Copies of this chain bind each other. A is one copy, B any other.
Amino acid sequence: MATATATRPVMLACEEPLPVPVGRPDSNGLAERPLPDVEITNPERSRSLKQQALAHVTPYQALPVQGPLVEPRLTASYPVLEPDEDRDERIQTVIEEYKATLVERTRLHMGYPYNLDFDYGPLESLQKFCINNLGDPFIESNYGVHSREFEIGVLHWFARLWEIDQGEYWGYITNCGTEGNLHGILVGRENLPDGILYASSESHYSVFKAARMYRMDSVQVKTLASGEMDYDHFKQEVTRNARRPAIVNVNVGTTVKGAVDDLDHILRVLQEAGYTEDRFYIHCDGALFGLMIPFVRRAPLVTFRKPIGSISVSGHKFIGAPVPCGVVITRQRYITALSQDVEYLNSKDATIMGSRNGHAPIYMWYTLTRKGYGGMRKDVERCLRNAHLLKTMLEQAGITAMLNPLSSTVVFERPKDAGFIRKWQLACEGPIAHVVVMPNITIDKLDEFMAALIQSRAQCAAEAAHQLAREARLQAAHDLEEEERLNGGLGGPWQ
Residues in chain B near residue A157, CB distance under 8 A: 79-80
CA distance A131 to B165 in the complex (A): 34
Q: With A61-B354, A91-B366, A347-B58 as given contacts, are A83 and B374 in contact (CB-CB < 8 Å)?
A: yes
Q: Which of A235-243, A260-268, A334-342 contacts B (4 or more CB under 8 A)?
A: A334-342
State whether B76 touches A149 (Cβ < 8 A): yes
* Contact status of A348 and B57, CB under 8 A, knowing A140-B70, A370-B87: yes
Q: With A61-B348, A353-B178 known to touch, is A139 a contact of B80 (CB < 8 Å)?
A: no
The answer to whether B154 touches A55 (Cβ under 8 A) is no
The answer to whether B212 touches A341 (Cβ under 8 A) is yes
Does A494 touch B at the CB level, under 8 Å?
no
- The proximity string for A residues 119-155 relative to B, scoring 1 for CB distances below 8 Å and 0 otherwise, is 1101111111111101110111111110111101111
- The answer for the CA separation of A426 and B214 in the assembled complex, in Å, is 35
A 5-16 binary contact with B (CB < 8 Å = 1; else 0): 000000000000
A320 at interface (Cβ–Cβ under 8 A)? yes
Q: Is the CB of A365 within 8 A of B78?
A: yes
**In the complex, A306 has a CB within 8 A of chain B:** no
Offer 7 A-B interface pairs, CB within 8 angstroms, sorted by A.
Answer: A62-B135, A62-B349, A76-B152, A112-B142, A112-B143, A323-B358, A324-B353
> Which of B156, B341, B356, B370 contacts A79, CB < 8 Å?
B156
Other-chain contact of A177, B38, B155, B321, B355 (Cβ < 8 Å):
B355
Q: Check: A492 CB closer than 8 A to any chain B CB.
A: no
In Å, the complex CA distance between A79 and B166 comes to 12
Residue ID in chain B nearest A81 by CB atoms: B369
A76-110: CB near B (< 8 Å → 1, else 0) gives 11111111000100111001001100100110110
Cβ contact of A213, chosen from B112, B154, B213, cutoff 8 A: B213
Asked if A130 contacts B149 (CB within 8 A), the reply is no
Inter-chain contact B144/A61, CB cutoff 8 Å? no
Query: How many angstroms between the C-alpha atoms of A148 and B75 in the bound complex?
Result: 12
Complex Cα spacing A322 to B201, Å: 38
Assembly stoichiometry (copies): 2
Query: Is B62 within 8 A of A136, CB to CB?
Result: yes
Q: Which of A39-47, A292-300, A397-405 is the contact stretch?
A: A39-47
Please determine whether A41 and B322 come into contact, CB atoms closer than 8 angstroms: no
CB <8 Å contact, B347 and A61:
yes
The complex places the Cα of A204 from the Cα of B142 at a distance, in Å, of 17
* Contact partner, A56, options B43, B123, B201, B346, Cβ 8 Å: B346
Beyond A142-B65, A149-B77, A153-B76, whether A42 also contacts B167 by CB under 8 A is yes
Question: Do B38 and A139 touch across chains, with their CB atoms under 8 A apart?
Answer: yes
Complex: A212 Cα to B341 Cα, angstroms: 10
Q: Report chain B residues within 8 Å CB of A178.
A: 352-355
**Is B126's CB under 8 angstroms from A316's CB?**
no
A98 to B140, CA, bound (A): 16
Closest to A140 in B: B39
Task: With A44-B167, A209-B345 given, name 9 new contacts (CB 8 A).
Answer: A45-B166, A76-B155, A79-B153, A80-B368, A143-B427, A205-B346, A205-B347, A208-B346, A323-B357
B130 touching A322, Cβ below 8 Å: yes
Q: Indicate whether A371 reaches chain B with its CB closer than 8 angstroms.
A: yes
Contact of A49 with B139 in the complex, beta carbons under 8 Å: yes
**Which residue of B has the minimal Cβ distance to A255?**
B354
In the assembled complex, A59 has its CB within 8 A of some CB on chain B: yes
Q: Min CB distance, A339 to chain B, in Å?
A: 5
Contacts of A150 in B (CB 8 A): 78, 98
CB-nearest residue of chain B to A53: B348
Q: Find chain B residues with CB under 8 A from A60 CB.
A: 134-135, 354
Q: Known contacts A138-B45, A341-B212, A426-B142: does B127 contact A99 (CB below 8 Å)? A: no
Residues on B with C-beta less than 8 A from A106 are: 129-130, 145
- Is A184 an interface position by the 8 A CB rule? no
Q: Which residues of B contact A25 (CB under 8 A)?
A: 343
**Pairwise interchain contact A116-B145, C-beta atoms closer than 8 A:** yes
> Could you tell me if B166 and A322 are in contact, using CB atoms closer than 8 angstroms?
no
A134: chain B residues at CB < 8 Å are 60-62, 324
A143 contact set on B, CB distance < 8 A? 109, 111-112, 114, 425, 427
Q: Does the CB pair B83–A342 fall under 8 Å?
A: no
Q: Which residue of B lies closest to A45 (CB)?
A: B167
> Are B142 and A83 within 8 A (Cβ)?
no
CB of A29 closer than 8 Å to a CB of B: no
B residues near A320, Cβ cutoff 8 Å: 130
Most buried by B among A45, A127, A179, A321: A127
